[in-house]
Amino acid sequence: MSALDFYAQVATSGDVLGAGIGTNPGGWEAAVGPDFLDVPGGGLPRRDYGLVEINFSPDQQGLQGQMSCFGFGVKPQRLLYDLSSSTVPLPLSRKYGEFAPRLPFEELRAAILSLGHTVELEETSRDMHRYRVSESVARIDVVLDPDPYGSAPPIRTDIR
């Protein structure tokens, strides 16, 4: 498996190694590992794994003190600036191998199409396009500048 497989899997399934929307912090830790930074903020904590960032809110079932994921994002643009081993969680690098700092959008689109999904343009701006993956909650933000940081546009996949 490759990093491209990881990005396509997240975009089509809405999970990272089985953890996704509704998963509690312990479930995310079991899937992605113990190396993270918890970032408090306005009652809605965020867990930062480097490549993956998870947002939690109080559990909808009203259980006192319980939290669950209401959204997460995959942030490959972080690899442009930090290729240290802590940026890609160990369980991801073990399963998918090396993660490059760039991923051309057309490669990701082809991988998503090969999994039986479509990628539809949802909105545009002067410097970005946002795509929606069919039968998924995934949104893919693509930087349009052909050379915003170097030689190829990075992608950002936000799962909401």
Written as tens digits, the pLDDT of the chain (160 aa) is 899 999 999 999 999 999 999 999 999 999 999 999 998 877 788 999 999 999 998 876 655 668 899 999 999 988 888 877 789 999 999 999 999 888 889 999 999 999 999 999 998 888 889 999 999 989 999 987 666 555 554 555 544 4
What is the DSSP code (8-state) at residue 92? H
The alpha helices in 33-104, defined as continuous H runs, are: 90-96
pLDDT of amino acid 70? 92
Can you list the pairs that 79-83 forms with residues at least 24 positions away whose Cβ atoms lie under 8 Å? 79/51, 79/154, 80/149, 80/150, 80/154, 82/50
Q: How many domains does the chain have?
A: 1
pTM to 2 decimal places: 0.85
pLDDT of amino acid 146? 61
Cβ(53)–Cβ(47) under 8 Å? yes
Cβ(93)–Cβ(99) under 8 Å? yes
pLDDT of amino acid 159? 46
pLDDT of amino acid 148? 57
The residue segments making up the domain with residue 11 are 3-159
